[in-house]
Structure 1
Amino acid sequence: MPPAVRPRRAALCAVTALTALTAVVVTPAPATPATSAATAAFPASAAKPAAHGEPLELRFGACPESVPEPPAPDRVECGELAVPLDHEKPHGERIRIAVSRVPASGTPAERRGVLLVNPGGPGGSGLPYAVTKRAKLPASVRRAYDVIGFDPRGTGRSAPADCGPMGGLFEQPGADPVPVGPEAEVAYLKSLDRMADDCADGVGDALPHLSTAETARDMDAIRAALGEPRTHFLGVSYGSYLGAAYAHLFPHRVGRMVLDSVVGPGSWYDFDVRQSRELLRQRAVFFAWAARNESRFGLGGTAADVRDAYEHTRRGLADRPQQGFGAAEFDRAVYRALGRTERWQPLADGIRAYLRDGDAARLRPADPHDSPASRTFEAANRTVKCADGPGPTPARILADLHSARRADPLPVLTGMEASTCAYWHHRPTRHTPLGSPDAPPVLLVASEHDPVTPVEGAHRLAERLPGSRLVTLHDDYSHGVFASRGNACVDGTAAAYLVDGTLPDADVHCTGPGLPEPTP
């Protein structure tokens, strides 16, 4: 049995609400630059509890400095919405959800409503995404929609999860993420157990409520606060999972929904295992690509040569870490690079520089793993995954580790976050339901060779959303497609659906860019 739940920290505390969730109003305010006025709108205690008896309102004003200013004449404005910690207890404790808005740039006749957006994760901050993603959207979509970003509960400025040391996750250099032998495996399982204890200490009795289903209910509260009859939504990666959860809970409130780089239905742990296998396939493609460009990278003329260079680099960093950068940090950099082909050249250059000069500087990511934003992301990621359904058993974790090492002695296991759920203090009894036959058909988008969210997830989710259409970008190897890859076929299809509301008559097949040509 798990130990008694600890009191949660101030970041997740809330007080009793006296007003109903339906009592929501929106009070627009002129947008102002994110200067000192932003401090008044978003105090340092960004996750402060809702005040006792405070109306459930969404007032817009200045944004924090983390939200960039869009190009003129567009403007961005931010606010907070108090929502129940547990939506089944609408008069109970509440937390605040941070929301941003960039108004539509078109005429009133062109306006189609609000488009909520989510960048993925779980754990990704959506507050600045209203600006950054909107800038990449086709002009017709920008003219038609107010783009609404929000930090999902547990992330960013929305009652951020705090798991403290997370079982040593932020120690540098970290333990090798591929344990070999009984002693290393026991140490690995113990680190997962400590991580679960740390999250229970930090998050406390909010642990069951930082879930995708509760966030989907927050989305509907945002819709109601904005006075909109339907939720139009663009979700990328985990955002597709969130959108599908919303479609299950509120099928008759679903408007036009684009789910990009789709996480399929089922267990997060099963998803992590599938992803780890796809990463091996992608890494083999990377090795062959670097070999074809031997004159540029100098890592060898065959995939086996490049793999030897890769293994030599990893082994050297495992034996002699550089300023906290060892095997775990190298694997993290590889995991990030394999998801987007534009990151392959920097990875190959980093390996070459290490082998030539013994310097790992070019392999280090720009953002430190133990930064405050990264700590919140890692905590929210595991907290949400473990709140969304049952976790694996320790025996299954070890069996899958052995299977992964049989497939390849050096697997990439950085994305196995749901392993922590084996020791979680809150044990959900079922997985988050996704999709509904009562929801209108939506548009799914996928890259043919995406290793982060394999294309099979889109096919499986389509079965839960009858009549939906899938846009596949063939001969593409990257994660994130719509308004991301610059593909006119994908972007044009999605834009026409969002603006006109008409789905294609059949699934759409677009031609992708293939593998990149390295620059000199």
Structure 2
Amino acid sequence: MRRPTRPAAVLCAVAATATALPPTVPTAAAAAAQPAAAIAFGPCPASVPAPPPPARVECGTLSVPLDHARPRGPHLSIAVSRVRATGTPAERRGILLVNPGGPGGSGLPYAVTKRAKLPERVRRAYDVIGFDPRGTGRSAPADCGAMGGLFAAPAPDPLPRDRSAEREHLGSLRRLADDCAAGLGPALPHLSTEETARDMDAVRAALGERSTGFLGVSYGSYLGAAYAALFPQRVGPMVLDSVVGPEDWYAFDLRQARALLRQRETLFTWLAAHREHFALGSTASAVRAAYGRVRAGLAARAVDGFGPAEFDRAVYRALGRTERWAPLGEGLRTYLRDGTVEGLRPAAPFDGRDSRTYEAANRAVKCADGPGPTPGRVAADLRRLRGLDPLPVLTGIEASACAYWHHRPESRTRLGSPTGSPAAPPALLVASQHDPVTPAEGARAMQRVLPGSRLVTLENDYSHGVFASRGNACVDDAVAAYLVDGTLPRGELRCQGPGLPEIP
């Protein structure tokens, strides 16, 4: 098995040896010396909601090189949104770039939707800046076409149970990679975390700021660590929430898949504890059997385009947020009672994201960030997951497509110090103790490679996304104090979470 590799742009923090940047890649100092273009702000598209008065949102675009190593080459436009600080000039702390995750998540409306949940003193202190990362939303959206049949409804069962099914599964990954190579063309190697981090610095420069604060959730934490690696002297307060650890994408996907199995066991136990409401069984094993009957029934006969692949996606989505557990349990009950799937089908698939752009950008970024697994490793890991549980949830293992990706970097650019840059200020990391989407051990691993960083853990919590999301005053106050006053916790801060959900 090949040794794990590291994300290209984060390697400043974790590389075993350091080498100089290639001379064709502009350094942060050189980029700062170049005149920065300004962003002409104006009205936003209808997809961006208006914030409550007196705040208002404005949008614009910024032209950046497709390949930052070739600044005179082809360019693309990055869509940017801004909600200015509402406090006095004395309260203002600068800009706070925000990213909602993915990779593949659109950030243009996030400046409004996330800002609405931020503590008031943070809204008064910062211009909140959203942006669509390259390949998403309105920033040269990625289009891979059919992606090997990914969007067929119902899609084939994604869980291969024998060698023949494994070969078909690998064939679908090859077709997906071929479709992305054809659809993305010359952009294929450049829809990467490192290039996006360089776009972030171009946005900072265009706004006339010497440094930028940053709030990144999930993949946004990975992007923030990449920015800190590349531009340590441009980093202001940085909050990394629900942290993706400093590892290669395929290893992360497998770690997530194992965490999802643990979370699903917790869900089964919870559903059994509320057997009067859900009627799925009085023990976790009985609920598991009911779950298996639902999936087997959908595999035998899809209902209204909803089959086992769609079921697994709905389960994946529900496992990440405890407020979705009761609707999932009720959907299982309804299907077993009358065969309908409306209770299982999410009202807004992919949380409202454009699913085709999201799925294309997700694979493009993960595979551009570094070499992927071999086909043999993909098949072997599927067998290992089936050994852990006969019904694993494979939805989040997107980096398996990198086994056939047409752009396959064999090494990663080493960017600076092997332990991170001492020039970057300490970051604040936030984690939920039982988050199955970005397991908490990723935050601890990232903390080790970001010198001086602190970790805030929401204990007894089972959801993805913590700060200005879970409504926890202990977490929100600590992060606000860091963003506004620069005050870090003295050591690791443990906040008490809500525990398992109540029945609505």
TM-score for the superposition, normalised by structure 2: 0.91
Deviation at 1:507, TM superposition (A): 1.0
Q: Which stretches of structure 1, 4 residues or more, deviate above 4 A after TM superposition?
A: 20-25, 368-372, 431-435
Query: Please, which of 190, 214, 227 is the counterpart of residue 246 of structure 1?
Result: 227
Query: Please, which of 173, 176, 197 is the counterpart of residue 178 of structure 2?
Result: 197
1:472 match: 457
1:221 aligns to 2:194 (yes or no) = no
SS in 2 for 1:463: helix
CA–CA distance in 1 between the matches of 2:388 and 2:33? 53
Q: 2:38–2:207: 8 Å Cα contact kept in structure 1? A: no
CA–CA distance in 1 between the matches of 2:177 and 2:463? 32
2:75 match: 94
CA–CA distance in 2 between the matches of 1:371 and 1:184? 32
SS in 2 for 1:72: coil
SS in 2 for 1:229: coil
Aligned CA RMSD, in angstroms, stands at: 1.5
Instruction: Note the alpha carbon deviations across 1:144-178, whole angstroms, 9 max, x for none.
Output: 00000000000000011110000000001111111
Q: 2:105–2:353: 8 Å Cα contact kept in structure 1? A: no
1:303 match: 284
2:404 match: 423
Deviation at 1:68, TM superposition (A): 0.4
SS in 2 for 1:228: coil
SS in 1 for 2:80: strand
Alignment of 1:319-338 (within 5 A): 319-338=300-319
2:3 match: none
2:11 match: none
Provide closer, same or farther for how the CA distance between residues 425 and 371 of structure 1 changes in structure 2, counting only shifts above 3 A: farther
Provide closer, same or farther for how the CA distance between residues 212 and 489 of structure 1 changes in structure 2, counting only shifts above 3 A: same
Deviation at 1:360, TM superposition (A): 0.7
Deviation at 1:182, TM superposition (A): 1.3
Provide closer, same or farther for how the CA distance between residues 472 and 432 of structure 1 changes in structure 2, counting only shifts above 3 A: farther
Alignment of 1:285-364 (within 5 A): 285-364=266-345
Q: What code does the residue aligned with 2:502 have? A: E
TM-score for the superposition, normalised by structure 1: 0.88
CA–CA distance in 2 between the matches of 1:371 and 1:278? 25
Q: What code does the residue aligned with 1:436 have? A: G
Q: What code does the residue aligned with 2:475 have? A: V
1:117 match: 98
CA–CA distance in 2 between the matches of 1:511 and 1:372? 32
Instruction: Note the alpha carbon deviations across 1:74-131, whole angstroms, 9 max, x for none.
Output: 1000000000111111121110000000000100000000000000000000000000
Deviation at 1:432, TM superposition (A): 7.2
Q: What code does the residue aligned with 1:320 have? A: R
Provide closer, same or farther for how the CA distance between residues 307 and 433 of structure 1 changes in structure 2, counting only shifts above 3 A: farther
2:153 match: 172
Deviation at 1:57, TM superposition (A): 3.1
Query: Please, which of 479, 494, 502 is the counterpart of residue 494 of structure 1?
Result: 479
1:437 aligns to 2:421 (yes or no) = yes
Q: 1:24–1:58: 8 Å Cα contact kept in structure 2? A: no
CA–CA distance in 2 between the matches of 1:202 and 1:57? 31
Provide closer, same or farther for how the CA distance between residues 248 and 225 of structure 1 changes in structure 2, counting only shifts above 3 A: same
SS in 2 for 1:100: strand
Q: 2:106–2:353: 8 Å Cα contact kept in structure 1? A: no
CA–CA distance in 2 between the matches of 1:508 and 1:498? 16
CA–CA distance in 1 between the matches of 2:84 and 2:413? 32
CA–CA distance in 2 between the matches of 1:22 and 1:185? 53
CA–CA distance in 1 between the matches of 2:129 and 2:345? 33
Alignment of 1:27-38 (within 5 A): none
SS in 1 for 2:429: strand
1:131 match: 112
CA–CA distance in 1 between the matches of 2:281 and 2:351? 34
Q: 1:83–1:218: 8 Å Cα contact kept in structure 2? A: yes
Q: What code does the residue aligned with 1:163 have? A: C
What runs of 5+ residues in structure 1 fail to find an aligned partner? 1-19, 26-55
Larger RCO, structure (CA 8 Å, separation 6 or more): 2
Q: What code does the residue aligned with 2:421 have? A: P
2:238 match: 257
2:380 match: 399
Provide closer, same or farther for how the CA distance between residues 305 and 68 of structure 1 changes in structure 2, counting only shifts above 3 A: same
SS in 2 for 1:274: helix
2:432 match: 447
Aligned length: 470
CA–CA distance in 1 between the matches of 2:121 and 2:264? 37
Q: 2:61–2:80: 8 Å Cα contact kept in structure 1? A: yes
CA–CA distance in 2 between the matches of 1:190 and 1:397? 12
Deviation at 1:206, TM superposition (A): 0.9
Provide closer, same or farther for how the CA distance between residues 184 and 210 of structure 1 changes in structure 2, counting only shifts above 3 A: same
Deviation at 1:367, TM superposition (A): 2.7
Deviation at 1:310, TM superposition (A): 0.6
What runs of 5+ residues in structure 2 fail to find an aligned partner? 1-30
Q: What code does the residue aligned with 1:142 have? A: R
Deviation at 1:357, TM superposition (A): 1.1
CA–CA distance in 2 between the matches of 1:356 and 1:484? 35
SS in 1 for 2:38: strand
Instruction: Note the alpha carbon deviations across 1:315-369, whole angstroms, 9 max, x for none.
Output: 1111110111000000000000000000000000000110111111111112357
SS in 1 for 2:268: helix
Q: What code does the residue aligned with 2:388 have? A: A
Deviation at 1:406, TM superposition (A): 0.6
SS in 2 for 1:135: helix
SS in 1 for 2:245: coil
Q: 1:261–1:455: 8 Å Cα contact kept in structure 2? A: yes
Instruction: Note the alpha carbon deviations across 1:17-43, whole angstroms, 9 max, x for none.
Output: xxx996656xxxxxxxxxxxxxxxxxx
CA–CA distance in 2 between the matches of 1:191 and 1:408? 23
2:496 match: 511
CA–CA distance in 2 between the matches of 1:428 and 1:350? 43
Deviation at 1:407, TM superposition (A): 0.6
CA–CA distance in 1 between the matches of 2:413 and 2:464? 23
Provide closer, same or farther for how the CA distance between residues 280 and 233 of structure 1 changes in structure 2, counting only shifts above 3 A: same
Deviation at 1:429, TM superposition (A): 2.4
CA–CA distance in 1 between the matches of 2:317 and 2:494? 27
